[in-house]
Homo-oligomer: A and B are copies of this chain.
Amino acid sequence: MAKKGITPRGEDYSQWYLDIINQAQLADYAPVRGCMVIRPNGYAIWEAIQRELDRRFKDTGHVNAYFPLFIPESFMKKEAEHVEGFAPECAVVTEGGGSKLEEKLYVRPTSETIMYAMYSKWIKSWRDLPLLINQWANIVRWEMRTRLFLRTLEFLWQEGHTAHATAEEAEEEALMILDLYAEFSENVLALSVVKGPKSDAEKFPGALVTYAIEAMMQDKKALQAGTSHNLSDHFAKVFDVQYQDREEKLQYVHQTSWGVSTRLIGAVIMAHSDDDGLVLPPKVAARQVVIVPIWKSDKEKTAVCVAGSELERDLRKAGIRVYLDDRDQYRPGFKFNQHEVEGVPMRVEIGPKDLEKKSVALKRRDGGDKIFVPMDEAVGKIKEQLDTMQRDMLARSKKFREDNTKDIDGYDAFREFIGSDSGWASSHWCGGADCETKVKDETKATIRVIPFKETDTGKCIICGKDSPKRVIFAKAY
């Protein structure tokens, strides 16, 4: 029997992931095939992601709006590459108000078409640009094989859609958002990422270029944590989004779109958790600190609960999300276990002996021994420990990715490396689609990202032709 109902990672990584989600009450399968219910503990992680990203979007001049869930079939069909990419995985409404519809409505798999039809109406002049809109919404894609948070029929996301006067401004925006996503992933989610463009085969249907950030999970697979697309004037021409420039000439706008989704919750779970349950970076945790008072007699109870309550108040004043667990019906051991499984970053214990010594015991969820600190220094120490934990988790994520990313030369070595699930291969690639397909067919690895930072030239591991730089090949979620 697995400890706490959690299968060890080393034994079965997929089952471990599902066990964590189940035991920490993060999500549940719904009675609709492939759909999930995001339970309060899981949704709280999404709320933290929303809060942190929304602030960053607004600080960079974006505003939120809301566009319809339904897209008429004729709109979907306007952009050939787009409809080919998305139509096969759509849910389709054919009846409404008790009657058959004249035109089918697609449940949005993404909102380019419906949004740009409106942009065409709203944008008239250079004065209306740039238009910087973001939407928080639910999305439906008819996936056949689903996995909680990572791939479900319905998921939640944000999609930014901007329009600019020039190609340069659109490229700047796409790259600015990529940096924003990377900074957010590292500083909030404690996920170290690699930035760069995707190969043509992996880019968004209809985009000129797709930039992505990729993170490494504990099983050394890659997970795409966010994408930012430079759409050029491709959609503008299809949806006739034009503006009058300062010389009163009509010009097409240049656009970007970008998004992250609830699959980030899956990334946070898979990157940081251990065999005892969920581990959350403090910035993502709904409850950053739990105070557990420990008592035997009623007299002791009053004393430790009063002390706990005072500490709770002081921590809250200091901006820390804290919860005093003074529930009567559970014993301390039960509480310790629950908070551990649910990933509360820090536990504070206050027992009668601690009160005597005027100290409290702190225990970080990401490891290390209990430490004892004087009561009157507790707030400062807790804050410091939370900050350190946030940094340590990012450092571990970075080290793990770097340790498991290897320069691999030669196709035999490559097949051996990928076949044994040894990590990410940083290998030379000529840029050809045939070589990319061959690797995918033979090893299941895909090109995750073409890192900005790589510079050395070499020979393609597949065909031996010249390669401008190394790219990251890996199996991915």
Q: Which of A46-89 contact B (CB under 8 A)?
A: 46-47, 63-72, 75, 87-89
A95 lies within 8 A of B98 (CB): no
A68 lies within 8 A of B154 (CB): yes
User: Contact check: which of B30, B40, B65, B118 meets A133 at CB < 8 Å?
Assistant: B40
What B residues does A90 contact at CB under 8 A? 96-97
B97 lies within 8 A of A95 (CB): no
A35 lies within 8 A of B91 (CB): no
What B residues does A71 contact at CB under 8 A? 32
What B residues does A68 contact at CB under 8 A? 30, 32, 35-37, 154
Of A137-145, A167-175, A311-319, A363-371, which binds chain B?
A137-145
A65 lies within 8 A of B94 (CB): no
A72 lies within 8 A of B107 (CB): no
- A92's closest neighbor in chain B, by CB? B95
A31 lies within 8 A of B88 (CB): no
Does residue A150 face the partner (Cβ distance < 8 Å to B)? no
Does residue A43 face the partner (Cβ distance < 8 Å to B)? yes
A107 lies within 8 A of B93 (CB): yes
Question: A140 and B37 in contact (CB under 8 A), knowing A31-B75, A93-B92, A114-B31?
Answer: no
Q: Which of A347-383 contact B (CB under 8 A)?
A: none
Q: Which of A113-154 contact B (CB under 8 A)?
A: 114, 117-118, 121-122, 127, 133, 137-138, 140, 142, 144, 153-154
In the assembled complex, how far is the CB of residue A350 from the closest CB belonging to chain B, in whole angstroms?
Answer: 24
B28 lies within 8 A of A118 (CB): yes
CA distance A396 to B180 in the complex (A): 45
What B residues does A324 contact at CB under 8 A? none
CA distance A98 to B28 in the complex (A): 26
User: Contact check: which of B28, B92, B94 meets A121 at CB < 8 Å?
Assistant: B28
CA distance A89 to B99 in the complex (A): 10
Does residue A39 face the partner (Cβ distance < 8 Å to B)? yes
- A104's closest neighbor in chain B, by CB? B95
- A152's closest neighbor in chain B, by CB? B68
Interface centre among A64, A75, A104 (most CB of B within 10 A): A64
What B residues does A65 contact at CB under 8 A? 37-40, 42-43
Residues of A in contact (CB 8 Å), total 57
CA distance A354 to B127 in the complex (A): 30
A329 lies within 8 A of B127 (CB): yes
Does residue A447 face the partner (Cβ distance < 8 Å to B)? no
In the assembled complex, how far is the CB of residue A185 from the closest CB belonging to chain B, in whole angstroms?
Answer: 22
Main secondary structure of the interface of A (DSSP, over half): mixed
A63 lies within 8 A of B89 (CB): no
Does residue A24 face the partner (Cβ distance < 8 Å to B)? no
Question: A93 and B91 in contact (CB under 8 A), knowing A63-B43, A75-B31?
Answer: yes
Does residue A156 face the partner (Cβ distance < 8 Å to B)? yes
A144 lies within 8 A of B64 (CB): no
In the assembled complex, how far is the CB of residue A71 from the closest CB belonging to chain B, in whole angstroms?
Answer: 7
CA distance A28 to B140 in the complex (A): 24
CA distance A122 to B27 in the complex (A): 11
Does residue A44 face the partner (Cβ distance < 8 Å to B)? yes
CA distance A42 to B63 in the complex (A): 11
What B residues does A107 contact at CB under 8 A? 69, 93, 107
Does residue A393 face the partner (Cβ distance < 8 Å to B)? no
CA distance A375 to B448 in the complex (A): 57
- A66's closest neighbor in chain B, by CB? B38
What B residues does A105 contact at CB under 8 A? 32, 91
CA distance A90 to B144 in the complex (A): 25
B93 lies within 8 A of A97 (CB): no
Known: A40-B133, A88-B97. 20 other contacts (CB 8 A): A28-B118, A28-B121, A30-B67, A30-B68, A31-B75, A32-B114, A37-B67, A38-B65, A39-B65, A68-B154, A70-B91, A70-B154, A88-B98, A90-B97, A91-B93, A91-B96, A93-B94, A95-B104, A96-B142, A97-B144
List residues of chain A with CB under 8 Å of any chain B CB.
28, 30-32, 35-40, 42-44, 46-47, 63-72, 75, 87-98, 104-105, 107, 114, 117-118, 121-122, 127, 133, 137-138, 140, 142, 144, 153-154, 156, 329
Subset of 14 A-B contacts with CB under 8 Å: A31-B75, A31-B114, A32-B70, A32-B114, A35-B70, A39-B65, A88-B97, A88-B98, A89-B97, A93-B93, A94-B94, A94-B95, A96-B142, A97-B142
| A-B complex: 10 closest residue pairs judged by Cβ atoms | A97-B142, A40-B63, A92-B95, A35-B68, A38-B66, A30-B68, A96-B142, A91-B96, A94-B94, A91-B93
